[in-house]
Structure 1
Amino acid sequence: LIYKEDPSKYVGTNLIYRDTLDYWTLSTGGTIFTDIFDGMQVEIDPGVETPKYNYQASGWITGDGIMRITPSIAEGPKMPWKYNIVFTDDDSAYVGVARTGTVRDENGSSISSSDKITQPAINFFIQNTSFIDTSTGQYELMDVIAQDMNDNDTLDLFEDRIFVGAPAGSRWRATAFIIDFQLTTEATYPQGGDVYQVDWKRPFFETDTVRFSVTADDNLDSSVIDSVMKNIKVVPNPYVMTNMMEEAISNPFLNQRRKLMFTHIPAECTIHIFTVSGVLVDIIKVNNEPENGIVHWDLLTREGLEIAAGMYLYHVKSKVTGDEKLGKFAVIK
């Protein structure tokens, strides 16, 4: 775990406390931002605090028949998932499962047993596209029960209402939304292959997980890096240790280190510094921001000793492209 926010520690107003119901939630007042961690910052749009039917995201994916969707304001928020209503040419594409249980309408009022038509056969099925049935590898299917609007104990698609919900075995558990075709005619009834999406605006759930990875830029122009490496320079060259421009000389009481600067280097590279006889003096590992092509060297050996005057060689190798540059600089005392 490299980053965490909870009620004991959080940024700004990212979290808010609802004292009337005694719970914490993400602030929905606007986009929230985490602190910067590992060079990253997460931006989150909480959306809503409680589920709401998403009229903008609901509609025909394929087809344009006439159909009315009524979300259940009482029980729908308990199942705020994304659904596909898929129409077929098979009059028994789906047959209801639930036979018992209380069925409530969009306002939470239970409908009488005499008004229920259980196990209706319909030419469409409803997929819960938010979940996969692990036993089949397919989307979970929602169940249906019909409300007999004309009291004839027979399913009449153009008069009755189809309740869509989740069963618990053969028992009805809750109503997500209701479908009706009361404004539909034979000519405007959806055709086989038509798909209608029903969606909700959902808050984040405790079990939600977002996975992301950071990869190298595939559009990296190696020729540009090669061209820039040709411009690598050592400044100043030669380096004069007694130069009054050197901070270590001009401010002797501040115990400042000497600095030799490499310019135009790749953001990720390794610099080896050698004597002219090939003895390794120091290694500089560079991990700069992409726009930073500068690194300083303190003119100390790997053992922390001050280098001697003379000629030195440097070798720069890019970690990204493998391009190399060999150069030299002088140190005068």
Structure 2
Amino acid sequence: MENDQYTQQDPARQYGQRDGQPVQQQEHPGHTGDMRPQPDHGERTYRGSGRLAGKRAVVTGGDSGIGRAVALAFAREGADVLISYLDEEEADAQQTLRLVADAGRRGVGMPGDITDEDHCKLLIERAVAELGGIDILANVAGYQMSQSDGLAGIDTAQLDRVFRTNIYAMFWLCKAAIPHLPAGGTIINTTSIQAYDPSPQLMDYAATKAAIVNVTKSLAANLADRGIRVNAVAPGAVWTPLIPATMPPEAVESFGDNSPIGRPGQPAELAPAYVFFASQESSFVTGEILGVTGGRPIS
């Protein structure tokens, strides 16, 4: 069944009969084209209505998954978009940029590793130079690596990579972007259901996602008098390349089964939350976390 997010339907069957994903595994960071089934980023369904007309956005992790869906939605709402991504994700990134161009907006790609502070600064500088400024910073990129042994399996190198990708980069990017954000500008962070209901095999990842909740609330209070709003989206299980690239095959097969809706979410189902926070429709909302979890509670 072809998905149409604007047609009323049973959400449990919106993407067809739920029977799990085929057993599969990829090397990190993973590639969209190798996933079965293919994720839905809203290519055929997302319809813009000018809510971000003339805005300039930075989306980290914009090559695939939630980041691609957000970049596509922002473009169809009228924003120009710079996406960041790892060098190995060039093919996926080019597809995202084609989607942005097809929406009639300017897309800029910047490869590199956001675990490097200088790269984060350069990323913001390039957005200012090529887009003429920044109105929206969407921190979507993240890193995880499942460890069946929990704490015993997490070495210092993994811990450092998880925190530098998920926490340090967010700090660096926000710090670099804030001087360029006008009143009415927005920062949208990405936390997770893991911040509220952590899985033992994702202990380090869950810790960073809990920290993002705290930083979002603190930064929102810090920037309110400047007219800059800061919010976060908390995804549940979402079908992106990160899943087959960081989880064992048996976990991939049953991924998303524990949500009340009974399936993983699709990136296209996350993008509207980012659009809401980026648009003037949420002008009285700051310091909030919006859960998009298929029914799993955040509290």
TM-score range (shorter-chain normalised) is under 0.3
| Structure that is richer in strand per residue | 1
| Structure that is richer in helix per residue | 2
Q: For CA contacts below 8 A with separation 6 or more, give which structure has more relative contact order.
A: 2
